[in-house]
Amino acid sequence: VSRQEFIELAKKSGNFDDTNLEFLQRTLKKSGIGDESYLPRHVISSPSRSVTIAQGREEAAVLMFGAVDSVLFSTKIHPRDITILVVNCGIFNVVPSLSAMLVNHYKMRSDIQTYNLGGMGCAAGAIAIDLARALLDSRPGTYALVVSTEIITAT
């Protein structure tokens, strides 16, 4: 969603007055958020419309698959070569897990070690990296993938 689309969605939602909209525009301009930033369209909806787990999963898929595709392409590592997968997300914790989404989507090996960290807030990213490092120390010559995200649909 571009910055302009975001402002238009905010206007249409009816949740913001002119002062709020001006503040949003200033904040977007100064924050460095670009027109290629991701925001699920259903985040700004009428108060009567509730978000669903399916929408959260859709957001997770777009974010995670795009990021992982980019990492796999740039490193030339095949998904089946990854032996450790650590996923962290502060709020959106579902069954099947986000790591299961990745394992199934990329057809990763059946003996992959997966870890889902949740409910830890922003510190979970650092904890995920430390966990992956510790696991790699005990298994030299292996690859770990850490996916740190936040799914804002849930908020």
Read off the pLDDT of each residue in 72-80 and give the average, rounded to a whole number. 98
Tokens of 102: 């990745």
For residue 129, the model assigns a pLDDT of: 97
Write the DSSP symbol of residue 49.
P
Read off the pLDDT of each residue in 33-39 and give the average, rounded to a whole number. 76
Measured distance CA(19)–CA(8) in Å, rounded:
14
The tokens 């959106």 sit on which residue?
92
pLDDT higher than 60, residue 29: yes
For residue 40, the model assigns a pLDDT of: 73
Measured distance CA(45)–CA(73) in Å, rounded:
35
Tokens of 13: 């939602």
For residue 49, the model assigns a pLDDT of: 63
pTM exceeds cut of 0.95: no
Measured distance CA(61)–CA(68) in Å, rounded:
10
**pLDDT bucket at 43, cuts 50 / 70 / 90:** low
Burial 59-74 (b: 16+ CB within 10 A, else e): bbeebbeeebeeebee
Measured distance CA(93)–CA(90) in Å, rounded:
8
Read off the pLDDT of each residue in 52-65 and give the average, rounded to a whole number. 90
For residue 99, the model assigns a pLDDT of: 98
* 92 contacts 152 by C-beta, under 8 angstroms: no
For residue 45, the model assigns a pLDDT of: 58
- How many angstroms separate the most distant Cα atoms in the chain? 57
Tokens of 42: 């259903």
For residue 154, the model assigns a pLDDT of: 66
Domains, the chain, in order of start with CATH, read: 3-43 (no CATH), 53-154 (3.40.47.10)
For residue 102, the model assigns a pLDDT of: 98
Read off the pLDDT of each residue in 49-75 and give the average, rounded to a whole number. 91
